[in-house]
Amino acid sequence: MQRHIKSILMIPVWIVALVTPAKSFKSNPLIGSSLLNALGLHIARVLLARAFVWFRWFVLSPLMPTNERKQFHRNGFVVVEEFLSEDQLKAIRTETKGHHGETRQMLQGDTATQRFLLTESNLEGKPTLSSLANNGKLLGRLRYGAASLMPPLLYIQRIRNGHQGGGADPQKNMHSDTFHPTMKAWLFLEDVSAANGPFTYVRGSNRLTTKRLGWEYQRSQSAKANPDGYSEKGSFRADANDLQAMDLPAPEGLAVKAGTLVIANTNGFHGRGQAEAGASRLEFWAYSRPTPFIPLPGFPFSWISRLQMSVLNWHWRRQDAVAARKNSRASWHLIPAEEMTDFKP
Ligand SMILES: [Fe+2]
């Protein structure tokens, strides 16, 4: 009975969530409803979000050079070689090596993602990294990719493959992050080869073709019961058969030189490439997931960025406290900085 009343009280919240980035087919019974999705709810959200994002891309088009924009929309990602010079790379690696501030790690299968957020305090004493974090040409491109003026979150990150025993890394399966375009970017600080798990993308899978829409429609009706553990949360996995059914090519690992910038629309299918155990890659990483159902690109104020980072830090500390009470470990748990920075600069 109590559960029934709670469900009734939650209905307005679930309805409002339909016009937010909420994506879980499991926790929102409207988003997960097979009936509503058979009637086209998921597809309506996909199409409406896409219409808004195209308008925002149009407004922000001066922020990315035309040839790069064409690449971005044709392939789902843009590759800008030699974005950083050898000297800048060397300086950033040295500054990263000298980092002693808060560093966190997430373990997924046998893979560890280690990172520190580029807050004002973490940027102290790192002049080259600070100047990169405020580089107008970089931020402009990232804002265009995200179709949002909101400042992206910036990190230094190392992906360590085969870091521990455990199952396969779920991020190595091709997936779409959510139902609308979102931006992730990698400015690689070390060379990336096929051996150290290159960023992998299904070229052209960012486009909303009729086959992709048909696949989304089918998947939306069964997603809440999908046992892969991620599709039910709104991040659809696509295997080789799915890609073939959508007339998409095989995933492609982007082996690139240090200093290369890659900006991707992670609504397209992507993942981490397979890697040799013990192999890793170091990168400057950016992320932005603006709310999809707004026509205007938001505001570029730096206080928004500071607020975002404070909220994130507060969230992590809260997770730390909860984990400590349960005698367990938060999903993004603290590690000694040296565990990430034990490399030759
Ligand atoms: Fe992803």
Cα–Cα separations (whole angstroms), residue 136 to 161, 183, 300: 33, 17, 12
First vs last Cα of the chain: how many Å apart? 61
CA–centroid distance, 271 to ligand 1, in Å, is 6
Q: What are phi and psi of 240, to 5 degrees?
A: -60, -40
2, pLDDT greater than 80: no
Per-residue pLDDT tens digits for 284-325: 999 999 999 999 999 888 898 899 999 999 999 999 999 999
CA–centroid distance, 200 to ligand 1, in Å, is 10
Q: What's the pLDDT at 158?
A: 96
Joined together, the tokens standing for residue 300 give 């570029």
Per-residue pLDDT band for 344 (boundaries 50, 70, 90) equals confident
Bigger pLDDT: 224 vs 266: 266
Joined together, the tokens standing for residue 313 give 């830090």
CA-CA distance, 9 to 294, in Å (whole number)? 27
CA-CA distance, 325 to 337, in Å (whole number)? 24
> With respect to CATH, is domain 2-341 assigned 2.60.120.620?
yes
CA–centroid distance, 265 to ligand 1, in Å, is 10
Ordered by start, the domain boundaries in the chain are 2-341
Percent of the chain with pLDDT over 70: 100
CA 246-274-340 angle, to 5 degrees, is 130
CA–centroid distance, 112 to ligand 1, in Å, is 15
Closest CA relative to residue 200, chosen from 265, 260, 267, 274 = 274
Per-residue pLDDT band for 273 (boundaries 50, 70, 90) equals confident
1, pLDDT greater than 90: no
Per-residue pLDDT tens digits for 131-172: 999 999 999 999 999 999 999 999 999 999 988 877 888 888
Residue 305 neighbours by CB under 8 Å, 6+ apart: 150, 151, 153
CA–centroid distance, 183 to ligand 1, in Å, is 10
Per-residue pLDDT band for 278 (boundaries 50, 70, 90) equals confident
